[in-house]
């Protein structure tokens, strides 16, 4: 979370101290940060990260073992693919739909026996698949275009489908967190600073969540859901052409979900940070 705070402070400092860009920006420079009056924007981004966190699935009288993703389950690397399509309504407003898929898979020796979803695993080699996907819909608005920078705000909803699976000696057990999932409100800020005819710097920060709320589902009693999302990034943008843009930088993600009832107590936490590269095409 300290990375998120540092990014937010950087956005504030840059917005206050960055000198005003002289009038007469080139069209290519404006294409990096100044939205068009109408049209579409399609983006594809890949990320490679170093994940940490844990998963715990308790069922009945068994609370479930807190299994750390990296240390206990051998998930050393995360791979994420993110695609988004934005429809520009005006020069200041847009709607954006985003689909993200994160690959979290690994294996390690578990010793002694671990409890997961009421089943015992180990001692021995255990394989885990904690892949998840996330779908979001956001409204974006250009909030500031003075002082040599462009500040864009967003607000929307996100939904996560998470179904972690553990396999040991041919037996697989899983827990579908999405059965109790709800759409989660999220907000964000993006700050772009032109650095020349082809380059720009970008800082992003966003997140949202739900406090402990009634999910509306029953499983051994009322299931209560708690969820937190946080994302931040720093990157450099390069205009390959007027319509095509390259984005390379650093990204950090925090995600937490807990489901609690009389019959179950499930939790998943992910802290992931690494590099990303993406392309954006405007037409």
User: pLDDT tens, position by position, for the chain (283 residues)?
Assistant: 444 444 444 444 444 444 444 444 554 455 555 556 678 999 999 999 999 999 999 887 778 899 999 999 999 999 999 999 999 999 889 999 999 999 999 999 998 889 998 888 989 999 999 999 999 999 999 998 877 788 999 999 999 999 999 999 989 999 999 999 999 999 999 999 988 888 999 999 999 999 999 999 888 789 999 999 999 999 999 999 888 999 999 999 999 999 999 888 999 999 999 999 999 999 8
Nearest CA-CA partner of 199 in 40, 23, 43, 21: 21
Characterize the bridge pairing of strands 222-239 and 171-174. unpaired
In three-state secondary structure terms, 29 is: helix
Residue 107 C-beta-side C-alpha neighbours within 13 Å: 7
What is d(CA 130, CA 40) in angstroms, rounded to the nearest whole number? 33
Strand partners, 244: 281
Joined tokens for residue 19: 């000198």
Cβ pair 205, 2 in contact under 8 A: no
Joined tokens for residue 51: 């994940």
- Position 35 scores a pLDDT of 58
Cβ pair 27, 86 in contact under 8 A: no
Q: Any idea which architecture 2-282 has in CATH?
A: Beta Barrel (2.40)
């Amino acid at each position: 979370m300290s990375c998120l705070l540092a990014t937010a402070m950087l956005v504030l400092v840059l917005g206050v101290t960055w000198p005003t860009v002289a009038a007469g920006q080139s069209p290519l420079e404006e294409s990096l940060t100044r939205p068009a009056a109408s049209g579409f924007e399609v983006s594809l981004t890949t990320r490679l990260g170093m994940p940490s966190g844990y998963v715990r699935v308790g069922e009945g009288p068994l609370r479930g073992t807190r299994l750390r993703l990296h240390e206990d389950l051998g998930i050393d690397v995360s791979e994420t693919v993110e695609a988004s399509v934005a429809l520009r309504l005006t020069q200041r407003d847009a709607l954006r739909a985003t689909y993200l898929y994160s690959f979290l898979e690994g294996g390690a020796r578990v010793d002694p026996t671990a409890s997961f979803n009421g089943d015992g695993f180990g001692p021995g080699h255990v394989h885990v698949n904690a892949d998840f996907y996330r779908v979001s819909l956001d409204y974006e608005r250009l909030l500031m275009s003075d002082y040599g920078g462009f500040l864009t705000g967003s607000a929307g909803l996100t939904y996560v489908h998470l179904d972690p699976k553990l396999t040991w000696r041919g037996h697989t057990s899983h827990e579908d967190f999405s059965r109790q999932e709800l759409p989660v409100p999220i907000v964000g800020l993006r700050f772009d600073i032109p650095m020349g005819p082809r380059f720009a710097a970008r800082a992003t920060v966003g997140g949202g969540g739900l406090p402990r709320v009634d999910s509306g589902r029953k499983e051994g009693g009322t299931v209560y859901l708690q969820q937190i999302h946080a994302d931040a990034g720093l990157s450099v943008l390069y205009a390959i052409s007027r319509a095509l843009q390259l984005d390379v930088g650093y990204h950090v993600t925090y995600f937490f979900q807990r489901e609690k009832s009389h019959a179950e107590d499930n939790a998943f936490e992910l802290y992931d940070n690494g590099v990303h590269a993406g392309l954006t095409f405007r037409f």
